Chains A and B, each alone.
Chain A
Amino acid sequence: MDSDEEDYVFYGTPIEREEEVTSRKKKAVAEASGQLRTLPSWKQEVRDEEGRRRFHGAFTGGYSAGYFNTVGSKEGWTPQTFVSSRKNRAEVKQQSIFSFLDEDEKSELAGQSLGTSSQFDTFGFTAAEIARGQAEKEQQKRPSAIPGPVPDEIVLPATESIGVKLLLKMGWRRGRSIKDSHANSVYDVKREARKAFLAFSSDDAKAQAADSESIQGDLENYIEQPASDEVISSQGTCVYGLTPKQDLHGLGFDPYKNAPEFRERKRSRISDNRDPEYGKALSVKNSLFGFKSGKVAPGFGIGALEELDAEDEDVFASDYDFEETYVQEIDEPSTKSMVDNKRKLIKNERGVLLGFRLASNADYQPERFDPPLVPKDFVPCHKFAGPLETDHKVPDAGPPEVSPPEDNNLKLLIDGVATLVARCGKLFEDISREKNQSNPLFSFLLGGNGHDYYVRKLWEARQKRADQKKHQLDGKASPSLPKLTAESRGKILGERPLERSSNDANPSVASSDSIHLQYNLSDTFTKPASFSELPEVVKPFKEDPAKQERFERFLKEKYQGGLRTTQFSGAVNLSEAARARERLDFEAAAEAIEKGTRGKETKTSTQHIAEFLTTGGMRFTSGGLEKAEDTHADISKEMYPKRGEYQWHPSPMLCKRFDLIDPYMGKPPPAPRMRSKIDTLIFTPDSVTAKNVEETTADNRDSFAIPQIDAQGISKDVSDKEIEVEVAVENVERPVDLYKAIFSDDSDEEEDAIPIVNKVEYPEKKVEAANTALNRLMAGDFLESLGKELGLELPPDPPYSTNKARPSASQKVVNENPGNDNVLHVEAKPPLTTNVSSECPINPAVLHDKEMAQDGRQKKNEPIDGDSAKSRVAEIVSSKNNNDQVNPEKIHQEDRKVKTRRRSSSTTSSSEDERSRRLSRRHRHRSSDSDSDSSSDHRHRSRSRGRRKESSREKSRSSRKHSKHHGHRSRVSPIRSHYGSEKEGLESKREKHRRRS
């Protein structure tokens, strides 16, 4: 068989062997019949009617993957160009039930319906029937009693019968007789062929009347041009037209039976109805285009060139149709709307109804009015009779001075009017003249009594105004004016300054300027000239001539504007407070004077004038705040610009990239940022005096850098300052000594831990030393907290182990004499207690709390200031309580810390406490090797490196921190010296181990 197949060529599909198919089917049937039912469910297989397996494993295609486990369609995969369906998406898809049915369901459904297939519908009856039924259905859907007549008239539900189709294909066209006119011509044969071709090509298209007609038309155009000799057709067949019944009359009833003219009229009206203006044209069009619904929006005409499409159809006008066609049809002549009437008029011109004629005079005639007469001299552009004269230049030489009239009232009135006229221009004068023509009081306007005086006054007032304007311009030109910052503007407008700006740390040069500016501006807002004459008479400080003088100067400055000094030169000998008070006095007095004069004016003039004059008072009185700012400004003026030098460690990579030698090459990573105090402290060995100065200046800066929130702020500060400074001297001194003590005496101990530290006073080395000290101190802190946590009794500190190294006398005093220390402590304490007690009274509970916190159980994250202050106080007190455990120096340190905190007024947070807490927290995490690693240098250095960012961010804090650290160090070192020396070897070993791991 196989070899045979090589030789033969097969055509077509071979017939399948009967047995194969049947066997498979049999098998399937057998399986279905229940043989398989005995099998357990997981062994059963689903097969189709052909007996093929329908389910496959996942790797063999799953359930009939694709088209019977092939590609996706019956045809297989064919290359296609992508066609976007985006545009079609919006189209309404014709959905029928068939689109949702499966094929078998469809076949089921098809079996139920019975009808002539279109193949045998010879006369097209069935199709027509269906179409008619469709139309009827549509008819029923329309509003109940109103059959829409127009579309039905025009669009007939019609289908082509097969005969017509055949005829058409053979060349017959509608409206022609069926006859063989010119069969013989060769041309005709060709034509027939072409026609047939065309017809067949268009055969697929639906046999709609319109469609075929259009094609027909095309054909006709195409054909008839050459075949011009064609005989004009005679009406061979009559077109059977259906006229559906569309009225409510009885069958066979013709309402126009005896009045045919109305029928005519109705027809015309219907066409009118469609389009009143283009009625005629439209009717022609209708017949031409035969559009589906004749409903066209009334009132919307169509241009001659436009085509009528769906948009022009009136979809809402069915009611209107109804009214027109039926109601009015019956009693036509009687009811006529206005519109209709008009239309009738127009129509009448075209043609009058049969048997009627136009009336010579209509009953109804619309009223008409003539337009008003425009005067001949009317100019359409308006000109103002009296132009505003405020801008005009005032003539220099005024009218001669005239003595005021005797009548005081009249004088005041004249004054007022003059001012007003000067302000508002000549127009005001004209108006008032017109208004008060009869009023004898205003005769001065008309040249009567006091006219001369009025003229003079008016001139004066104008002069004044001109001056003022000039002054304003001057003011604008003055240098201080243009720089209106937001802040100063806010101040001028009386806004409450923002939190930051009011507490601004650097009241700058500009702030003092802004005060000037404020005065200047307020001056420009007032009318300096108008008041300049007045206050001379008023002398509120007659009893004190010096004061009066100052007041006058004040007034002058106030009302004249321009720059002025911050201080009154006359009041040099006065104290600041007195000056401020006096200034306030002056302000009040000036305001009183101003008010008085204004009051006078308002009394004299009419109410108008009062309104005009109340503008722009002196509302911007200076407050105490500005006073304070003045003093600050003085300070800050001297302070800027200022230069500071700090150490900065460029990263080695940066140096490399900049092609420079690293200045800190081979040196350990940079210490945490040094800030002003500590820097100067380190780099100037004997800096006590310099330090002192620095301290005070820093203090000064602080005092205005930080908002003084509490009321006691300034006054207390002043009183406390001396004490503070005194204390500060001691404090400042000490760290240096401390360092000496640490680094010179204990160096033998620490040599192994910090090999870099030498006795040589090399600045960088010192920094380094400080750094390590800091680290150590942290370690010490940690040790301490650790010991407490573990409940170990710390070995009592060798109290004054480093004492001998301290040359400072004062320090010695403090250290040796606890009582003295206490005194000192108390001395510095008052500010502390005042500060703290406002927030929390010191009570045992707090103490207890604190002790618990010291135990290491406190888990608060960030101690707020109040807290820290609290804790500090608690610490102090507790240390007092059990004095034997804590060395007095610590107390002192604590005390100092609190004090510095107070001085920096609560912005610093207790970094130290926080640190110890953190350390202890960290310790808890790795409690296994807890007791040893604390002093390891490396860890903490890296730690400190990590914190560097934070510390340098808060300058104010860091500047304090260092001093704290020194203190801390001193506290810690004894512990370390005692505690750490024993475990040094172990520690270092462990540390190494850790580093390796």
Chain B
Amino acid sequence: MSSAELPRKEANVLRGHEGAVLAARFNADGNYCLSCGKDRTIRLWNPHRGLHIKTYKSHGREVRDVHVTPDNSKLCSCGGDRQIFYWDVATGRVIRKFRGHDGEVNAVKFNEYSSVVVSAGYDQSLRAWDCRSHSTEPIQIIDSFSDSVMSVCLTKTEIIGGSVDGTVRTFDIRIGREVADDLGQPVNCISMSNDGNCILASCLDSKLRLLDR
């Protein structure tokens, strides 16, 4: 990609939040985006036309992360109220609330089939929640982290979490193994490359670390 192709101009400003925006996520095909912030709302936008489509209000505290299913039918969000909210996009209603984290929930993701929500919490745990059944208990608690889990990534077969304890842990469901990569620095956010071969981890020592997997 040459530098000429890089976006240089601000295409749109999405105004509407009444507080700090803590996360902004595109949906799967990139036509819409979701933002959430300290004003306790989640907002759905059409960023290409600069339109504010919908506001989702139900959180009692700041909303830290939001994720939408690939079919754009459901949302999940999490935040300072220690709950994961499972929303219906069209009606804007909360379908389910998952309680169980002992601290703020930092990140949340759907799996590929939108059947599981995996959340990363300040309580040093990753929790997997079942969207299919009506149980509000987590179907899996991963608490091998020794500090707040800041970020979570999901592949078809793996759960990857980055934590302040400096580790990026990959939990492979297929073979039941956990691979812990200790980076020595608190990991604030992890993100996976599109081909799924690398993880980019942003650390608190002002460095980005690219990990092969």
Contact = CB atoms under 8 A, between A and B. Distances in A.
Interface of A: 483, 506, 508-510, 636, 639-651, 653-655, 657-661, 663-664, 673, 949, 952-953, 955
Interface string B134-154: 000001111110100000000
26 contacts: A506-B166, A510-B185, A510-B205, A636-B184, A639-B184, A640-B182, A644-B179, A650-B171, A650-B176, A651-B128, A651-B139, A653-B139, A653-B140, A654-B139, A657-B113, A657-B128, A657-B139, A658-B111, A658-B112, A658-B115, A658-B116, A663-B176, A949-B143, A953-B143, A953-B146, A955-B146
Most buried by A among B157, B205, B206: B205
B206 A508 contact: no
A654 B157 contact: no
Nearest to A655: B173
Contact of A648 (B178, B182, B185, B209): B178
Contacts of B175: 663
B86 to A, nearest CB: 14
A673 to B, nearest CB: 7
A645 B111 contact: no
Q: How large is the interface on B (under 10, 10 to 19, 20 to 34, 35 or more residues)?
A: 35 or more
A-B CB proximity, top 9 nearest:
A640-B184, A648-B178, A663-B176, A653-B139, A651-B140, A646-B178, A510-B205, A657-B115, A657-B116
A660 B172 CA distance: 11
Nearest to B204: A485
A647 B180 CA distance: 11
A648 B171 contact: yes
A647 B209 contact: no
B156 interface: yes
Contacts of A640: 166, 182-185
Contacts of B184: 506, 508-509, 636, 639-641
Given A648-B176, A657-B130, 19 more contacts: A508-B205, A639-B184, A640-B183, A641-B182, A642-B181, A642-B182, A643-B182, A644-B182, A646-B179, A654-B116, A655-B173, A657-B132, A663-B176, A673-B144, A949-B143, A952-B143, A952-B144, A953-B143, A955-B146
A273 B152 CA distance: 83
Contacts of A510: 185, 205
A663 B181 contact: no
A194 B89 CA distance: 69
Given A641-B184, A658-B156, A664 B128 contact: no
A664 B181 CA distance: 24
Contact of A645 (B115, B143, B180, B185): B180
- Interface of chain B, main secondary structure: loop
A577 to B, nearest CB: 28
B130 to A, nearest CB: 6
B8 interface: no
B55 to A, nearest CB: 30
B180 A646 contact: yes
B181 A643 contact: yes
B177 A646 contact: yes
A645 B211 CA distance: 16
Contacts of A952: 143-144
A636 to B, nearest CB: 7
Given A483-B206, A646-B144, A508 B185 contact: yes
B15 interface: no
B146 A660 contact: no
B140 A660 contact: no
Nearest to A646: B178
Nearest to B128: A654
B174 A660 contact: yes
Nearest to B116: A657
A661 B175 CA distance: 9
Given A510-B185, A639-B184, A654 B178 contact: no
Contact of B180 (A483, A643, A654, A657): A643
Nearest to B209: A641
A654 B173 contact: yes
Contact of B176 (A636, A642, A664): A664
B124 to A, nearest CB: 7
Most buried by B among A653, A657, A664: A657
Contacts of A645: 177-180
Contacts of A508: 184-185, 205
Contacts of A651: 128, 139-140
A658 B143 CA distance: 19
Contacts of A506: 166, 184
Contacts of B206: 483
A852 B205 CA distance: 53
A953 to B, nearest CB: 7
Contacts of B124: 953
Contact of B179 (A643, A650, A655, A949): A643
A514 to B, nearest CB: 10
A658 B173 contact: yes
A509 B146 CA distance: 20
Contacts of B209: 641
A726 to B, nearest CB: 29
Interface string B171-203: 111111111111111000000000000000000
Contacts of B140: 650-651, 653-654
A947 to B, nearest CB: 12
B113 A659 contact: yes
Contacts of B113: 657-659
A659 B185 CA distance: 34
B193 to A, nearest CB: 17
Nearest to B155: A658
A124 to B, nearest CB: 67
A658 B185 CA distance: 31
Nearest to B157: A660
Contacts of A509: 184-185, 205
Interface string B93-129: 0000000000000000001110110000000100010
A725 to B, nearest CB: 24
B211 to A, nearest CB: 8
Most buried by A among B171, B176, B182: B176
A651 B173 CA distance: 9
A636 B185 CA distance: 11
Contacts of A650: 140, 171, 173, 176
B177 A647 contact: yes
A484 B107 CA distance: 28
A647 B175 CA distance: 9
A706 to B, nearest CB: 14
A641 B176 contact: no
Contacts of A657: 111, 113, 115-116, 128, 130, 132, 139
Nearest to B142: A648
A663 B172 CA distance: 10
A216 to B, nearest CB: 59
A470 B92 CA distance: 59
Nearest to B132: A657
Contacts of A647: 176-178
A646 B176 CA distance: 9
A507 to B, nearest CB: 10
A845 B155 CA distance: 61
Contacts of B178: 645-648
B212 to A, nearest CB: 11
Most buried by B among A483, A655, A658, A949: A658
Nearest to A673: B144
A677 to B, nearest CB: 15
A141 B184 CA distance: 87
A951 to B, nearest CB: 10
Most buried by B among A483, A653, A660, A664: A653
Contacts of B130: 653, 657
A663 to B, nearest CB: 4
Contacts of A644: 179-180, 182
B77 to A, nearest CB: 20
Contacts of A664: 176
A653 B112 CA distance: 15
Contact of A649 (B176, B180, B211): B176
